[in-house]
Amino acid sequence: MSSLTVDEARARAALIHVERYEIAVDLTGLLDGDAWRAQSTVRFSCREPGASTFLDCDAEVEQVVLNGVALEGAAGPRVELPGLAADNVAVVRSVQRRTSQRTGVHRAVDPSDGRVYVWTSFEPDEARLAWACFDQPDLKAVHALTVDAPADWTVLTSTGDPVLTDLGAARRWAFPDTPRLSTYVPALDAGPFHVVRREVDGHDLGLACRQSLASTLERDADELFDLTRAGLAFFGERFGLPFPQRRYDQVFLPDLGGAMENWGCVAWSDAFLTRGQPSHGERELRAVVLLHEMAHMWFGDLVTMRWWDDLWLNEAFAEWACHWAAEAATEHTDVWASFLANGKLRGYAADRAPSSHPIRQPAPDVATAAAGFDAITYSKGASVLKQLVAWVGEDAFVEALRSYFRKHAWGNASLDDLMAEVAAASGRDTAAWTRGWLGTAGTDVLALEDGVLTATGPDGAAPRPHRLDVGAYVRDGDGLALREVLAVETEGPATRLPEIAAADLLLLNDGDLAFAVVRPDAASRDVLLARAPALPTAVGRTVAVTTAWQLVVLGELPAAAFVDCVDRVLATEPAGALVEPFLQLAVTAAGLWSPDADRDALLAAVADTCVTLAEEPGRRRAAVRALARTATAGEQLAALDRLAGDDVDLRWARLRRRAALGLPVDDEVAALLGDDPDPDRAVSALLVRAASLDPAAKQEVWDAVRGLAGVPLGRLRDVQQAFWQPSQAELLAPYAERFVALLPSLGTGGMISSMATVGALFPVVGADAALLDRLQRAAAAPGLDPVVAQTVVVRSDELRRMLAARG
């Protein structure tokens, strides 16, 4: 399928101006069938009458009428429009029957009650699957939707207050015009939703989900509304522009992966409605995602990148802004620390891999651009913006953003537009900064020796300018006392620090302002490993733990030393936000980064920490889940039995562990299926089989994920964790081989689906050096989907390092 190129997009944008889309959608064929019917009426002008262009419509095109004349033989995915007038009306009638692939338009069936729900999700260029449009970000237009839906359905779109007409078995929903939007941000979600609405600060806020999750949504509605109100108030004030629409809906949807910033109608995977009481980490993640999608109303929807090469203007900003807002306007005040232990580590991993690329990178066509939705664009991008804020100061940065939104609202912008505002507001020359940080791939290394801070660029390149803090700590009994914080701006490869009073630990990048690999001096490194729990701030402790983690990844510290360090931090960690990320690192280091001979002892050490942590009510859920990935010895399994109690979520976790160890679980699975009210409980049962030692069960799960059947996208990470058990190398080795063979067939289900599927099936266990070679060759083969190729290259780089660490 041809993917729109940047040259084609530029030519089309130079030729036409799109005024509006009037789109009539008929959903009645989706109640029992697969047909999504649409008629798109496109009003646009042409700057060179007589010229031709094309509409995008990747569906069955039934009829095309241009300026009153039917075009015989017109077809998609590119509908040619010859002989344009100065002002044009094109009417395209189409049917989309690919409605079960989780792309563009999706029809989901709730397995528990058979009810049907329909959603759209269009980024980067899947609006053309739903209706005819000029599907590129810089051709913005008003969208006016009219939707015929079964009479008992609710239809939610980007605008509110529809006019309803009774059609008997169906109802017609006529929605007011949207503002001028890029084609990828309008939304249409429909079904017999459970809806909760609340009037807050002049906004009409809505939450919706499928009927079978109504009680779960009701449980969390207050919290979600509070976060929504806090976010709208914070962003409206900081960006100097309140969200300009009364309606702001958030719809939790089955089969969707992640979340999507549809204007005024954000789409969420309903996996975010955790069936058990959400843990601290799950609540924090939900707050961050809520604020990320909300930030997109400004970064992306209101001001949109001109082309996908500036995707970072959307994603890096949204990812930075959500943490900024969460820290300032919600209870999640340690969110930058957990970002460091989660997303930022993924950013470093992606930046280390051979597939690393500059944050801003060319996107020759949309298919290539889809591979840019990665940890470099999101996590490194957000980190680099945090660095920029530290470099120019928050006040200047906010002033720059206000000016940027004022000038470009409802239009498109590029890198230069944004950086010009930052330069003007801050008085700093941003050219070198932009080149180094946005235009160059790879991570600098910062090291401190004898009072000199050295900065080394990637592959011998000149280092970037860094603004970082160095914390000077002295031993104080068993603890550490902060003596002073040095605010440092590096210039070139060597920067002499001001005189520091004798310190036992110089914590490089204290406060985590910089994006760099840091190498402490030898004396500091020993103190850091021994006394990390004594550091006074959550960010400081996270810098210590992640500095140690990076040393493991780089082959400079054994996993055992890391596990020892993080276990001791966990034992006294006061910040609830850090418990789950630290547990995750501990379990991963013990299970995947340690030599076979050490693994069980390290897992047992982590399990003991979990048993202790589980005594604290606020830590219990996280600790028992981690115990269910580490318990090996009889006593630990007994503790797991006791701690799981009658909590359905923890009982599933316990059964996964028992299955992984080869213990009988079938009767308990059957009983739990009876007790669990989750409409997706079959997935939980599948995860037990995924963990199991039974070869037939492994094969069944593999086939289910490969065929995209029976596993919602939002649960594929759970599959990955359950399937690739560190103790099952022999059983899993054939699947490592199968993954290599499978690669060419992956990537047909859309961007998010591709990333999630590759993530779930990637062999972190059962692979050896020879397989890794074959994997890397396969990832480089021509014709592979760019999203698949890039995901495999990043994961392969990590696997290579794991194999080295395992020895």
Chain residues in the site for Zn ion (CB under 5 A): 315, 318
Tell me, what DSSP letter sits at residue 133?
A: B
At its nearest, how many Å lie between Zn ion and the CB of residue 759?
Answer: 18
Rounded to whole angstroms, the Cα distance separating 392 from 539 reads 21
Contact present, 252 and 209 (Cβ < 8 Å): yes
Q: How do strand 163-166 and strand 154-157 relate by DSSP bridges?
A: unpaired
At its nearest, how many Å lie between Zn ion and the CB of residue 291?
Answer: 11
Query: Catalytic one among 126, 261, 293, 319?
Result: 293
At its nearest, how many Å lie between Zn ion and the CB of residue 688?
Answer: 33
**Judged by CB, which is closer to Zn ion: 314, or 725?**
314
Reply yes or no on whether 123 is catalytic. Answer: no
SS3 category, 205: strand
At its nearest, how many Å lie between Zn ion and the CB of residue 378?
Answer: 7
| Nearest by Cα to 255 from 110, 122, 49, 380 | 110
At its nearest, how many Å lie between Zn ion and the CB of residue 315?
Answer: 5
SS3 category, 53: strand
Rounded to whole angstroms, the Cα distance separating 10 from 19 reads 18
Rounded to whole angstroms, the Cα distance separating 280 from 175 reads 38
Residue spans of beta strands (DSSP E) within 67-193: 69-70, 78-81, 87-96, 104-109, 116-121, 142-150, 154-157, 163-166, 170-174, 188-191
Rounded to whole angstroms, the Cα distance separating 515 from 653 reads 36
**Judged by CB, which is closer to Zn ion: 97, or 346?**
346
At its nearest, how many Å lie between Zn ion and the CB of residue 792?
Answer: 23
Q: How far is CA 62 from CA 38, 76, 100, 101, 103, in A?
A: 10, 10, 21, 22, 21
Tokens 């997706």 appear where?
A: 680
CA-based torsion, 237, 241, 246, 252: positive or negative: negative
Name beta bridge partners: 172.
148, 165
**Judged by CB, which is closer to Zn ion: 318, or 480?**
318
At its nearest, how many Å lie between Zn ion and the CB of residue 305?
Answer: 12
Give the angle subtended at the CA of 422 by the CAs of 421 and 428, to the nearest 5°. 125
**Judged by CB, which is closer to Zn ion: 55, or 787?**
787
Give the angle subtended at the CA of 536 by the CAs of 532 and 538, to the nearest 5°. 80
**Judged by CB, which is closer to Zn ion: 258, or 679?**
258
Rounded to whole angstroms, the Cα distance separating 566 from 484 reads 25
At its nearest, how many Å lie between Zn ion and the CB of residue 261?
Answer: 6
Q: Which two tokens stand for residue 697?
A: 């069960």
The phi, psi pair for 64, rounded to 5°, reads -130, 125
The phi, psi pair for 70, rounded to 5°, reads -70, 135
**Judged by CB, which is closer to Zn ion: 293, or 608?**
293
Rounded to whole angstroms, the Cα distance separating 407 from 458 reads 36
**Judged by CB, which is closer to Zn ion: 290, or 367?**
290
Q: What residue is closest to Zn ion based on CB?
A: 318
Contact present, 293 and 260 (Cβ < 8 Å): yes
Greatest Cα-to-Cα distance within the chain, rounded to the nearest angstrom: 87
At its nearest, how many Å lie between Zn ion and the CB of residue 296?
Answer: 6
Rounded to whole angstroms, the Cα distance separating 613 from 607 reads 10
Q: Which two tokens stand for residue 577?
A: 């936000």
Contact present, 100 and 748 (Cβ < 8 Å): no
Rounded to whole angstroms, the Cα distance separating 697 from 112 reads 23
Q: How far is CA 232 from CA 295, 335, 403, 572, 705, in A?
A: 9, 18, 19, 36, 38
Residue 427: CB atoms within 10 Å: 8
**Judged by CB, which is closer to Zn ion: 285, or 613?**
285
| Nearest by Cα to 227 from 235, 237, 216, 239 | 235
At its nearest, how many Å lie between Zn ion and the CB of residue 752?
Answer: 11
**Judged by CB, which is closer to Zn ion: 64, or 313?**
313
**Judged by CB, which is closer to Zn ion: 315, or 718?**
315
The phi, psi pair for 478, rounded to 5°, reads -85, -10
**Judged by CB, which is closer to Zn ion: 90, or 382?**
382
**Judged by CB, which is closer to Zn ion: 318, or 340?**
318
At its nearest, how many Å lie between Zn ion and the CB of residue 373?
Answer: 8
Q: How buried is residue 233: exposed, middle or buried, by Cβ count under 10 Å (0-12/13-18/19+)?
A: middle
At its nearest, how many Å lie between Zn ion and the CB of residue 301?
Answer: 11
As annotated, the active-site residues are 293
